């Protein structure tokens, strides 16, 4: 499985970094996209990903920097006359909103050359016997009551990618704090962790205690980011757009 971080920026726009988007590519060429921030389609093309190979898009939450590239991606697939179905996964409330965004982009099902399967986010199978488990986190807890009152999505999730006999991968997406990682990293060899809402040193220490061998920081705000030094046990990397990592 090859992971590519197409967008390593945070919510504040950056001239150097695109918004959140990460793909996992499998041995059969199939691609799964985790979050689709602004310009996701262009960023994937820049990094050599064939948009026609995307089989699933999973959205962690509805902050704009994690989803607003989805209508553009769907438009690109429609213009290209895609034939194979595409699955889009999100929290049920978010799913209804994302469907409306597609309709307001005039992506009417009757006119599309491919079917979109809109499904509530739940554990789902990936190629090569991998599996993805959405893990709720506290990123939206401060606005949860307001979100529920407004009828909008109150939930954010991280993604755990696991395969029997292979060390797992944790994609933090946006967190409430580093405490969302506590007790979640056992068995993981790689943590791709956002850097905008956490204490970076605490994340590295937590990863080391859990046996994680590599921490890749992403979701980086504009300006200079100073990451903790690598340790003998944990390699620490500040990702840039297009950063790629192979998971055996």
Token pair of 91 as six digits: 């929290």
Instruction: Assess contact for 36 and 62: CB atoms under 8 A.
Output: no
Beta-strand pair 188-194/166-171: parallel
Largest pairwise CA distance in the chain: 57
Relative orientation angle of helices 70-79 and 92-104, to the nearest 10 degrees: 50
Token pair of 171 as six digits: 């994609």
Catalytic residues, by residue number, are: 65
Instruction: Assess contact for 239 and 218: CB atoms under 8 A.
Output: yes
Q: Provide the 3-class DSSP secondary structure of residue 133.
A: strand
Instruction: Assess contact for 55 and 117: CB atoms under 8 A.
Output: no
β-bridge mates for residue 236, sequence order = 215
Handedness of CA 176, 95, 77, 133 (dihedral sign): positive
Kindly report the length of the chain.
248
């Amino acid at each position: 499985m090859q992971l590519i971080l197409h967008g390593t920026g945070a919510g504040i726009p950056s001239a150097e970094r695109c918004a959140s988007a990460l793909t996992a590519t499998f041995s059969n060429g199939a691609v799964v996209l985790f979050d689709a921030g602004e310009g996701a389609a262009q960023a994937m093309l820049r990094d050599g990903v064939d948009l026609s190979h995307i089989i699933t898009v999973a959205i962690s939450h509805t902050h704009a920097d994690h989803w607003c590239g989805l209508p553009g991606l769907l438009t690109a697939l429609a213009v290209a006359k895609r034939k194979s179905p595409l699955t889009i996964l999100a929290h049920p409330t978010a799913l209804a909103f994302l469907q409306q965004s597609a309709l307001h982009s005039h992506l009417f099902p009757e006119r599309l050359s491919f079917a979109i399967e809109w499904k509530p986010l739940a554990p789902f199978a990936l190629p090569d016997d991998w599996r993805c488990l959405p893990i709720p986190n506290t990123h939206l807890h401060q606005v949860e009551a307001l979100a529920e009152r407004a009828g909008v999505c109150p939930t954010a999730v991280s993604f755990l990618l696991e395969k029997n006999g292979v060390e797992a991968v944790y994609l933090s997406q946006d967190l409430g704090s580093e405490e969302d990682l506590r007790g979640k990293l056992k068995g993981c060899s790689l943590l791709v962790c956002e850097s905008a809402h956490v204490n970076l040193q605490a994340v590295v220490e937590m990863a080391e205690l859990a046996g994680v061998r590599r921490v890749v920081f992403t979701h980086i705000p504009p300006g200079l980011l100073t990451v903790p030094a690598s340790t003998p046990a944990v390699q620490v990397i500040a990702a840039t757009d297009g950063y790629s990592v192979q998971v055996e």
